[in-house]
Amino acid sequence: MGLLVMAITPLMSMVISASASRTSNEYMTVAANLAREGVEVVVAQRNNNWINDAAFDAGMYIGSGATSDYTFGLAFDPSTSLWSFVNNPSGGAPNVITDALAKVWIYSSGANAGLMAQGTVAVPQPAGTTATKYSRLVTLDAVCWNGTIETIAQSTSDCGSNTKIGVRITSTVQWADKGQNHNISAVETIYDWR
């Protein structure tokens, strides 16, 4: 009997450890997809701007020049299938990933069950959703050209006297697992090459 217990105990430990690793990997996979989605929404905005003959970065910032706000959440309206960049002009939130507007929600029932979404200033929690363990924040930094080299103007949409040639997108997702916060970011630089 003792031999049987000695044989089963390590096996059970391996099964429990594998299950815990699988759950952690699932959380990381969802977070990576949310981060990538944040980048893709900004790229789609740039592409729509081109189609509509607008400035490549139109609608990506609140304000203008050095006073523009360059961080935001992303809200998806399932009834219209449209994305919006969410930023609170009075409070500037979300500016950090722990702001309420960075929270990601999941629809728990109905036609949108399983769809993840972020709220808006007017409706921080979309109707019919429950909280997830994720928060997402997208930050845009201007890519500038001074005639010789390309530079990243961090924390601003303004290049000053240089020419703005693109935007660096950083989409960061944070989640908690086993009492620890984890972050993953997707970063892409897009250009005004039209």
Q: What is the pLDDT of residues 120-145, one digit of tens each?
A: 877 888 888 999 999 999 988 889 99
- Per-residue confidence (pLDDT) for residue 151, from 0 to 100: 87
* 125 burial via Cβ count (<10 Å: 0-12, 13-18, 19+): middle
Tens of pLDDT along 36-47? 999 999 999 999
DSSP 87: -
The amino acid occupying position 143 is V
CB 169 within 8 A of CB 72: no
How far apart, in whole angstroms, are the C-alpha atoms of residue 143 and residue 190?
9
Provide mean pLDDT across the span 105-116: 90
The span from the first CA to the last CA of the chain, in angstroms, equals 75
Tens of pLDDT along 95-106? 788 888 889 999
How far apart, in whole angstroms, are the C-alpha atoms of residue 158 and residue 140?
11
Percent of the chain with pLDDT strictly greater than 90: 39
How far apart, in whole angstroms, are the C-alpha atoms of residue 194 and residue 188?
18
- Per-residue confidence (pLDDT) for residue 85, from 0 to 100: 83
